[in-house]
Amino acid sequence: MIFAMRASLFITCYNDTLYPETGRAVVALLERLGVQLDFHPKQTCCGQMHANTGFRGEAYSQAKRFVQLYRDTETVVVPSSSCVAMIRDQYPGLFEELGNEKLRNDFAALVPRVFELSEFLIDQLGVDDVGAYFPHRVVYHASCHGVRALHLGERPYRLLAKVRGLSLATLPNVERCCGFGGTFSVKNAEVSSAMMAAKLQDVVSTGAEYCTALDNSCLMHLGGAMHRQYAAMKTIHLAQILAATESCPVEALA
């Protein structure tokens, strides 16, 4: 299970700041699989927060920055499906409106090489058994961008199915939004919280120990509520589950 492949990690701004353990898990996981990882020290943000709040010019500068940083990179891996959705679905419109020919061409050449983590594992490395061990009951929250923008489909479930010791619970209303929505969670805090309450009811009903996802943003929202409500459940990014092995459990990576 050794792949000779180079990839560059785009960690995303909020993972860098708030969830570095997710980044460390991606490094452990991919290096274990033989991927040679780079990290561009000048990376900051994909621009999603600005784009989704209506700050189009600002989103454009960040999008342009991303393309300029990564245009000569072989493969970019991103452990956040909403940021990949931003790059795939919103960059074209921004560059169409505000960019020039050169930027559009660079982007067109780069975008087929940008992958969400589960896409990278399944489609690029062709692996669903990453040799992980995680002896816990887990429920998977399929975030909206993973389901409806990236169409990840069975990919995360295939990865979870091969994790030794893991028992996967079925989440009712799995395709319903958790209510995070970026700045929506603050601009419409009450509605966001009502949506979160509905999602939490479904998540907690599974009796799982961990709720996992491919977006730490949803997990920050759900995990924050679980902590507030003293729920007997924790959140964990899928990368951390996949990185865990018998000799190196999740606690050692945290």
Partner 1 sequence: MTQPAPSHVILDPRFAPPFPQGALNVLRNPQLRKNVAHAIDVIQSKRGKLVAEKTDWQELRTAASALRAHVLENLDTYLEEFEARCTAAGGQVHWAADAAQARQIILGLLRQEGAREVIKIKTMTSAEIQLNPFLEAHGIKTYETDLAEIILQLGDEEPSHIVVPALHVNRAQVREIFARRMGLEHLSDDPQALTAAARTYLRQKFLTIPTAISGANFLVAETGAVAVVESEGNGRMCLTLPRAMITLAGIEKVLPRFDDLEVMLQLLARSATGERMNPYTSLWTGITPGDGPQRFHVVLLDNGRSAMLRRPVERQTLKCIRCAACMNACPVYRQTGGHAYGSVYPGPIGAILTPQLMHLHHAQTLPYASSLCGACYEVCPVKINIPQVLLELRAQVTNQERHQVARFLDPMYLGLCVANLLFARAWRFHLAQRLGRIGIRLFTRKDGWIHSLPGIGGKWTQTRDLRGFPGQTFHEWWAARDKEAK
| Chosen residue from 182, 202, 209, 231 binding partner 1 by CB under 8 A | 182
How many other CB atoms sit within 10 Å of the CB of residue 173?
Answer: 11
Q: Choose between 41 and 126: whose C-beta lies nearer to partner 1.
A: 41
Q: Choose between 126 and 230: whose C-beta lies nearer to partner 1.
A: 230
Question: How far are the Cα atoms of 48, 149, 239 from residue 187, in angstroms, in the given order?
Answer: 16, 23, 30
254/105 Cα distance (integer angstroms):
40
190/179 Cα distance (integer angstroms):
10
| Chosen residue from 1, 175, 205, 232 binding partner 1 by CB under 8 A | 175
How many residues belong to the chain?
Answer: 254
Contact window for partner 1 (CB under 8 A) among 120-128, 159-167, 178-186, 243-251: 178-186
Contact window for partner 1 (CB under 8 A) among 56-64, 100-108, 130-138, 238-246: 56-64
Look at residues 135, 111, 131 and name the one whose alpha carbon lies nearest to residue 121.
131
Look at residues 63, 83, 110, 68 and name the one whose alpha carbon lies nearest to residue 15.
83
Least separation, in Å, of the C-beta of 55 and partner 1? 5
227/232 Cα distance (integer angstroms):
9
Least separation, in Å, of the C-beta of 62 and partner 1? 5
Structure tokens at 57: 């010019």
Question: Does residue number 6 form part of the binding site for partner 1 (CB under 8 A)?
Answer: no
| Residue 201 contacts residue 171 (beta carbons within 8 Å) | no
Contact window for partner 1 (CB under 8 A) among 23-31, 158-166, 207-215, 244-252: 23-31
Supply the Cα-derived Rg of the chain in whole angstroms.
18
Question: Does residue number 208 form part of the binding site for partner 1 (CB under 8 A)?
Answer: no
Question: Does residue number 98 form part of the binding site for partner 1 (CB under 8 A)?
Answer: no
Q: Choose between 166 and 203: whose C-beta lies nearer to partner 1.
A: 203
Q: Which residues bind partner 1 (CB under 8 A)?
A: 11, 13, 15-24, 27, 39, 41-45, 47, 49-56, 58, 61-62, 65, 90, 93, 144-145, 148-149, 175-177, 179-196, 198, 220-221, 223-225, 227-228
